[in-house]
């Protein structure tokens, strides 16, 4: 899923999820078979999507909550790669306060997951 988000962005993923309304979606390699997808996200993003997932069936997030989780992970990755609060705020149309809250929660989740995986590895 991260490859798809990187290729087309969270907004286009939300558009596809809203339009198709189901979890499994086939991504055709041939653009002639993907006219509805191209209409929704545009030819450039479709070609990026097809290069990542063309010929495959992908699982789209089921609902709003899953999309928010993906968006928050993308915000966290953007921050780690050097985007500042203002850039993230404009990009995601959120307040800087909300961006800070998301980053704090994502940091807590990452620390928890690191500790959980470390403990799991030690107990194996």
Tens digits of residue pLDDT in 42-77: 999 999 999 999 999 988 877 777 778 888 988 999
| 111 or 76, higher pLDDT | 76
| Half-sphere exposure in the Cβ direction for 48 (13 Å, CA) | 13
pTM: 0.58
Structure tokens at 85: 């609060």
Q: What integer pLDDT is reported at residue 57 of this predicted model?
A: 92
Per-residue pLDDT at 22 exceeds 70: no
With CA atoms as reference, report the closest residue to 60 among 111, 105, 12.
12
């Amino acid at each position: 899923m991260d490859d798809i988000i990187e290729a087309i962005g969270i907004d286009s993923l939300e558009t596809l999820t809203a339009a198709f309304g189901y979890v499994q979606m086939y991504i055709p390699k041939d653009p002639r078979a993907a006219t509805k997808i191209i209409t929704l996200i545009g030819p450039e993003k479709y070609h990026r999507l097809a290069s990542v997932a063309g010929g495959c069936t992908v699982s789209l997030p089921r609902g709003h909550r899953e999309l928010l989780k993906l968006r928050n992970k993308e915000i966290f990755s953007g921050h780690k790669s050097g985007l500042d609060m203002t850039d993230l705020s404009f990009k995601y149309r959120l307040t800087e306060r909300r961006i800070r809250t998301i980053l704090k929660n994502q940091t807590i989740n990452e620390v928890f997951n690191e500790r959980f995986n470390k403990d799991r590895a030690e107990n194996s």
